[in-house]
Amino acid sequence: MSLFHTLRTVFQNLSDDHFKILRIIERNLKKYEIVPLEVIERESKLDEQSIEKLVRKLNFYKLIWSPKGREKGCLLNYNGLDLLALKNLVKKNIIESIGKPLGVGKEADVYEALSPKGEKLAVKFFRIGRTSFRSYGKKRPTLYSIHSYLYASINAAEKEFEALKILHPRGIDVPEPIARERHIVVTKIFRGVEIPSAQYIKNPVKVLAKILDNVIRSYEAGLVHSDLSVYNILVTPSEDIIIIDWPQWVKKDHPMAKMYLERDLMNLFNYFKRRWNIKIIPRKYQSFLNEVLREIFNTS
Ligand SMILES: Nc1ncnc2c1ncn2[C@@H]1O[C@H](COP(=O)(O)OP(=O)(O)OP(=O)(O)O)[C@@H](O)[C@H]1O
Ligand SMILES: [Mg+2]
């Protein structure tokens, strides 16, 4: 059962007290392996019976876990974190509804969404370590790692949003950042597909030149993507591009920055060579590349 199909039902069926409990669990995750019911009782000022009822419903909607056979308590999962974040995004008038998936990957899910003004948005939910979550209950991974995955996702969202906020105002072709809430990054939607899926590219040299131009301007703005591949570049039929997926960027003075930049560029060149037999880099970019690559190899 996907949360997004049932989002409306879940929202309709949860009261403020349910959200209160979710928030108490969330803010205690760093302190407890499993947040004890006594803590929820103390902080919510609700009685034991009401809490049990509220927790039962949260469990029914798979927003939390209440591990059996251990101490009595609760643990938040990605559904619960999604709901807390979405509630705020709705409250802040950033999104009105969630639509179909745009891309479902290993470490993130991206969904289409609508703003209250009817603008189309892309909403990226980070899901770091989600495979460990799935096996929860069967293998019981350490509960500690579950907390740290939730925090890792929040950090990744923060980091990606930071990059977009640096790059977009400088005219670099990245998704336009709208908001960041917990582990979610909201941007404007882009009507393009990943380069390997685009069958309509007529002028690959021009596309490569556009990408290089953006990589260079990002570098000049102080950032190296560090996970650049043709899967993280979207292209439209009119051959406009954006570079997406920035949570692992590093500053250009990072000790590994040059190595990452070289790897990013090599990924690109190898793909363009393989698919279109392009072996020559547009002249305009050669001097920058010569300079940077010379620095990488320390040859002058
Ligand atoms: N702004 C956007 N507009 C339209 N589609 C988008 C946008 N951002 C992301 N997507 C879609 O979602 C997919 C995944 O996005 P992204 O690369 O940011 O996540 P990811 O972390 O790579 O996920 P994975 O775990 O698969 O690597 C993209 O390939 C693209 O199809
Ligand atoms: Mg990606």
pLDDT in tens, 264-275: 999 999 999 999
Segment 286-290 mean pLDDT: 83
Q: Output the pTM of the full model.
A: 0.92
Mean predicted lDDT score pLDDT of the chain: 90
pLDDT in tens, 205-221: 999 999 999 999 999 99
> According to the model, what pLDDT value does residue 84 have?
96
> According to the model, what pLDDT value does residue 299 have?
45
The confidence band for 81, taking pLDDT boundaries of 50, 70 and 90, is: very high
Looking at the predicted structure, is the pLDDT value of residue 137 above 60? no
pLDDT in tens, 43-70: 999 999 999 999 999 999 999 987 765 5
Cβ of 103 less than 6 Å from ligand 1: yes
- Rg of the chain taking only CA atoms, in angstroms: 22
Separation of 195 CA from ligand 1 center, angstroms? 12
Question: Which of 112, 244, 248, 267 has the most ligand 1 atoms within 8 A of CB, as the residue to mutate?
Answer: 244
The confidence band for 179, taking pLDDT boundaries of 50, 70 and 90, is: very high
Separation of 67 CA from ligand 2 center, angstroms? 33
Higher pLDDT residue, 221 or 131?
Answer: 221
Cβ of 232 less than 6 Å from ligand 1: yes
> According to the model, what pLDDT value does residue 196 have?
98
Question: Which of 78, 95, 100, 102 has the most ligand 1 atoms within 8 A of CB, as the residue to mutate?
Answer: 102
Looking at the predicted structure, is the pLDDT value of residue 134 above 70? no
Cβ of 230 less than 6 Å from ligand 1: no
Segment 173-197 mean pLDDT: 98
Closest C-alpha residue for ligand 1 atom 17:
245
Looking at the predicted structure, is the pLDDT value of residue 232 above 90? yes
Cβ of 124 less than 6 Å from ligand 1: yes
Instruction: Choose among 174, 208, 176: nearest CA to 285.
Output: 208
* Residue of 213, 227, 245, 264 marked active site: 227
Which atom number of ligand 1 is nearest to the Cα of residue 193?
31
Q: Which domains does the chain have, with CATH numbers?
A: 1-76 (1.10.10.10), 94-189 (3.30.200.20), 193-297 (1.10.510.10)
Which atom number of ligand 1 is nearest to the Cα of residue 104?
26
> Is 264 annotated as catalytic?
no
Which atom number of ligand 1 is nearest to the Cα of residue 231?
29
Cβ of 122 less than 6 Å from ligand 1: yes
> According to the model, what pLDDT value does residue 300 have?
43
